[in-house]
Amino acid sequence: MSRDDTIILPRVESETAEAEQHEALIELDGVGMTYPGPPPVEALRPVELRVETGEYVAIVGPSGSGKSTLLNLLGLLDAPTTGTYFLDGHDTSKLSESKRTGLRAAKIGFIFQSFHLMAHRTATENVAMALVYRGVPRRRRKQIARAKLELVGLGHRLDAVPTTLSGGERQRVAIARALATDPSLLLCDEPTGNLDSATADAVLATIDELHGRGLTILMITHDHDVAERAERAVTIRDGRLSEGNHAH
């Protein structure tokens, strides 16, 4: 895909100095999240996390550990109540809501446990929908969608609707949709949670291949077998992050 279709956002204050200081794709500096009460709930205690461009990192934790809160912060769906989140050199705390939305659209691709596909749209149309709000012309949207579906091994299912696809194929359509905007970060939230083990392994192999092509992967999971695919693992429990000793 040509970068001509990508939204280019200006970096916030002092672009050159900031880029030199923050080379990581993701850098959390004392980031925490407290939901107002009464009583207030500290869902994520102030954490530090650095993810380099091209890394594959798993964040592992049980239900209620703070994974969803962290996912929403990393995906720019919520803003932290404390600390600073740098994404590709952008201090997200200094961005307006509209610029945060633009940055999210330009930099992050999401894969969820539920596929969130439109049932009466073809695989190509589902993937192309990711480009509608970026002003990409219809013909170009279709070209990009087909290319991304071929990338994930679905070149033979371009005109299939989700009801005729297997669970693994539907998740690969969702992966293709996440890739449509050529994101810097693929943020995965339990992407194999609804799949049997063989199908899950095939989907994870696709994600492995994308990482091999240089894409930065951040996998949120409760499954230690899934986390084993990553280069390193970070554990979250009771809203606290701790670096694991696991290396791929």
Query: What pLDDT, on the 0 to 100 scale, is given for residue 86?
Result: 96
In the block, residue with structure tokens 């293709």: 176
The answer to whether 234 and 49 are in contact (CB under 8 A) is yes
Cα atoms found within 13 Å of the Cα of residue 128, Cβ hemisphere only: 18
Quote the CA–CA distance of 127 and 132 in Å, as a whole number.
10
- In sign, the C-alpha dihedral spanning 199, 113, 214, 32 is negative
48 beta partners: 29
H helix and E strand count, the chain: 8, 10
Quote the CA–CA distance of 184 and 108 in Å, as a whole number.
6
> Of 126, 240, 232, which Cα lies nearest the Cα of 178?
126
What are the start-end ranges of the E strands in 112-198?
Answer: 185-189
Tokens of 129: 């929908």
Query: What pLDDT, on the 0 to 100 scale, is given for residue 150?
Result: 96
CB atoms within 10 A of CB 101: 14
Positions of the chain with pLDDT under 70: 1-22, 244-248
Query: What pLDDT, on the 0 to 100 scale, is given for residue 244?
Result: 63
Tokens of 103: 């940055």
